[in-house]
C-alpha cells in the first residue's frame, strides 16, 4: 500500500513508465472483471486499456484515503456500464454466441487431465451462461464478491451504495444464480 | 442465537478469528437458516470458481503505456496550436493598436496578395519545369511513366521528411 503510494507519487511527478507497475499489478483483475461483465475477450482487453488510460489521466484526483484498487474498480465499473448501455446489451454475448471475428479468450492453464478439462469447460460454459442472464446490478456484485474476492465495504464504495443494499443484492444474486443452474449442472 | 446469526457475513468473508469460527460452526448445527445460507454461498462460489480466469497478454502494460504517450503527444500538439493562435491574436491586437486597424487591414491584404503572387510564380515554375522535363524525356512521344516516377520520388522524400520532423522523442 505504502509502496503503491510511492509509485503513484512518481507517476504524478512525470514518470509515465512507473504507471506500468500499477498496470501490471491490476491488469489481471480488471481484464477478468470486464470480461465477466461483457463476455467478449477482445472488447474486454480494449476497455481495460481505456480504463488504465483514464486512471492515468485522472490520477491527480485520486485520494489516498481510499485504496487504489477500489478507485480503479470504480472507473472500470463506470466504463463497463457505459459500454453495455451503448451496445444496448441486456445480456452479455457469451463465447461462441458472439461475433465470429472476436478474439477467443486465452484461459490460464488449470493443470487438469483432458477429461477433467472437458467436464470443467462444460460446467464453466453453463455457469457463464447463467451469470450472463443475471440482471446487471446482480451480475456486478456477484462477480466482485465471489470472483474478484472484494469485501462488502469495498463493493459498497465502488458502487456508491449502502452496505445493506450490497449484501441484499449478493443474497438475491446467489439465489437467482442457483435457480438458473438448477437441473443444468 | 440471533447474535450468532449476525456473524454469518463475517464468516462467509473469512473475517472471524479461530474462536469465533468455532462458535459459529457449532451454531450451524442448530440454525437451519444460517446453514442453508452458508451452503448456498459455498455452492455459488464453487460454480463461479469453475469459470477459468482469462490470460492477459504479456505486452498489455506496454500497450497501455504506449497509449498514454500517444495521448500526451496529441495534447502537446493542441497546446502548440493554441499557443500559436494566442500569440497571433495578441500580436494582431498590438499591431492594430500601434499602427491603426485600417493599416493592419491594408497590410493583411498586401500580404495575401504577395502569397497569391508567390503561389502563382511557383505554379508557373512547376509547369515550365514539367514541360521541359517532358520535352527532354519524350522527343515526340508521351513518357508519362517517367514523370509519375519523379513525382512519386519527390512525394516520398517529402512525406519521409515530414515524418522525421514530427516524431516526438520520449
- Residue B169 pLDDT > 70: no
In this prediction, residues A67-76 reach a mean pLDDT of 93
Binning pLDDT at 50, 70 and 90, where does residue A3 land?
confident
At residue A103, the pLDDT reads 61
* List of domains in chain A: 1-96 (1.10.1740.10), 109-185 (1.10.10.10)
At residue A104, the pLDDT reads 66
Indicate the range of A44-58, A71-85, A88-102, A129-143 predicted with least confidence: A88-102
Indicate the range of A8-22, A78-92, A127-141, B28-42 predicted with least confidence: A78-92
C-alpha cell at A183: 437441473
Specify burial of residue A98 (Cβ count, 10 A radius: 0-12, 13-18, 19+). middle
Angstroms from B63 CA to nearest CA on chain A: 8
How many A-B residue pairs are in contact by the CB < 8 A criterion? 100
Q: Note the pLDDT tens digit of each residue in A101-126.
A: 556 666 666 666 667 767 777 877 88
- Residue B118 pLDDT > 70: yes
At residue A113, the pLDDT reads 67
* pLDDT > 90: percent of chain B: 28
At residue B13, the pLDDT reads 77
At residue B168, the pLDDT reads 42
In this prediction, residues B104-109 reach a mean pLDDT of 84
Angstroms from B113 CA to nearest CA on chain A: 46
What is the Cα B123 distance to its own chain's centre?
Answer: 37
Is A159 at the interface with chain B, CB within 8 A?
no
Q: CB of B8 within 8 A of CB of B37?
A: yes
- State the best of B33, B41, B54, B169 to mutate against chain A, taking most chain A CBs within 10 Å: B54
3-state SS track over chain A: CHHHHHHHHHHHCCCHHHHHHHHHHHHHHHHHHHHHHHCCHHHHHHHHHHHHHHHHHCHHHCCCCCCHHHHHHHHHHHHHHHHHHHCCCCCCCCCCCCCCCCCCCCECCCCCCHHHHHHHHHHHHHHHHHHHHCCHHHHHHHHHHHHCCCCHHHHHHHHCCCHHHHHHHHHHHHHHHHHHHCCCC
At residue A20, the pLDDT reads 95
- Residue A70 pLDDT > 70: yes
In this prediction, residues A70-79 reach a mean pLDDT of 94
Q: Note the pLDDT tens digit of each residue in A122-137.
A: 877 888 888 888 999 9
In this prediction, residues B151-162 reach a mean pLDDT of 77
Q: What is the mean pLDDT of chain A?
A: 84
More confident residue, B149 or B31: B31
In this prediction, residues A50-55 reach a mean pLDDT of 96
In this prediction, residues B125-134 reach a mean pLDDT of 83
Indicate the range of A35-44, A53-62, B23-32, B73-82 predicted with least confidence: B73-82
Angstroms from A49 CA to nearest CA on chain B: 6
In this prediction, residues A51-67 reach a mean pLDDT of 92
- Residue A66 pLDDT > 60: yes
- Residue B40 pLDDT > 70: yes
Amino acid at each position: 500500500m505504502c509502496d503503491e503510494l510511492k509509485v503513484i507519487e512518481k507517476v504524478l511527478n512525470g514518470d509515465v513508465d512507473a504507471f506500468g507497475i500499477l498496470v501490471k499489478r491490476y491488469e489481471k483483475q480488471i481484464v477478468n472483471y470486464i470480461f465477466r461483465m461483457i463476455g467478449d475477450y477482445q472488447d474486454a482487453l480494449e476497455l481495460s486499456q481505456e480504463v488504465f488510460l483514464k486512471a492515468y489521466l485522472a490520477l491527480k484526483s485520486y485520494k489516498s484515503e481510499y485504496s487504489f484498487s477500489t478507485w480503479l474498480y470504480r472507473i472500470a465499473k463506470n466504463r463497463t456500464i457505459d459500454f453495455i448501455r451503448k451496445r444496448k446489451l441486456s445480456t452479455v454475448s457469451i463465447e461462441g454466441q458472439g461475433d465470429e471475428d472476436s478474439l477467443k479468450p486465452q484461459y490460464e492453464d488449470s493443470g487438469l487431465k483432458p477429461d477433467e478439462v472437458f467436464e470443467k469447460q462444460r460446467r464453466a460454459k453453463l455457469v457463464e451462461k447463467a451469470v450472463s442472464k443475471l440482471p446487471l446490478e446482480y451480475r456486478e456484485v456477484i462477480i466482485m464478491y465471489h470472483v474478484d474476492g472484494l469485501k462488502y465495504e469495498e463493493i459498497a464504495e465502488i458502487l456508491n451504495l449502502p452496505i445493506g443494499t450490497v449484501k441484499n443484492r449478493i443474497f438475491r444474486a446467489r439465489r437467482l444464480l442457483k435457480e438458473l443452474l438448477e437441473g443444468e449442472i | 442465537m440471533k447474535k450468532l446469526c449476525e456473524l454469518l457475513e463475517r464468516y462467509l468473508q473469512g473475517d472471524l478469528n479461530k474462536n469465533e469460527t468455532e462458535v459459529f460452526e457449532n451454531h450451524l448445527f442448530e440454525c437451519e437458516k444460517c446453514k442453508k445460507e452458508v451452503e448456498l454461498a459455498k455452492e455459488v462460489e464453487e460454480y463461479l470458481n469453475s469459470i477459468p480466469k482469462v490470460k492477459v497478454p504479456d505486452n498489455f502494460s506496454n500497450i497501455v503505456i504506449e497509449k498514454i504517450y500517444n495521448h500526451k503527444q496529441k495534447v502537446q500538439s493542441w497546446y502548440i496550436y493554441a499557443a500559436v493562435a494566442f500569440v497571433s491574436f495578441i500580436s494582431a491586437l498590438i499591431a492594430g493598436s500601434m499602427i491603426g486597424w485600417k493599416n493592419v487591414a491594408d497590410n493583411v491584404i498586401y500580404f495575401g496578395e504577395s502569397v497569391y503572387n508567390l503561389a502563382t510564380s511557383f505554379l508557373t515554375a512547376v509547369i515550365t519545369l514539367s514541360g521541359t522535363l517532358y520535352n527532354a524525356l519524350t522527343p515526340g512521344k508521351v513518357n508519362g511513366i517517367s514523370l509519375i516516377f519523379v513525382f512519386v520520388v519527390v512525394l516520398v522524400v517529402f512525406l519521409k521528411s515530414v515524418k522525421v520532423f514530427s516524431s516526438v522523442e520520449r
